[in-house]
Structure 1
């Protein structure tokens, strides 16, 4: 197991995340729940930022499944903010790269992963396309 350093409390470098609005009661199933634009393909460095930027209503994320061969090698478990998070990689497929966040008993959330090499314009377009211009609850740097 690898220990992930916590993200600094006050930093100009935060998580770049856009999430689809969720209803007040329950959860609407949808193919993509948001978009994430990491700064690198180093999951052990990026994951603490992502998990720290998620709404508390999503609960504690216990598992993360990433697809794509671009991610740097990572351990099977990562200690993030005092909690163990299980990490898995899937075989690349012919679909946009995603990250699946799992909270046992509460569900899963699928986020489109925007390439760290994307320009701000490209990333904005992809993130808006993932959740739409209307109904986004989180937008920009958290």
Structure 2
């Protein structure tokens, strides 16, 4: 939970610390905002990373499924795909590459759209309305 760390800086700002300056507030408001921003950035980074990893795992799942969950069949399909790619002319390679990019970005967007409500719920449950650490 944000705002519940036990660093030396937190111990210095504790209310019962006799060496703390008598300024009034124990926590600096900018520090709380910075902690929340860091936590949101870490959660968003994890969301983006896991979404891209899921998207990259889909072709592996697809090729394993069509090969009957056999690695020999998987590599036979990949060999077939690579040999046809190498034999194709430059225009067909460019078209295939462009199509592959669009499929990757579309799949990433669809997976992110499916996963976003759970991510949003996680963010809003970590930071309820009216929560103040001051």
- Normalised to the residue count of structure 1, the TM-score between the two structures is 0.18
Indicate the structure with greater helix content. Answer: 2
TM-score by length of 2: 0.19
Answer with 1 or 2: which has the greater Rg.
Answer: 2
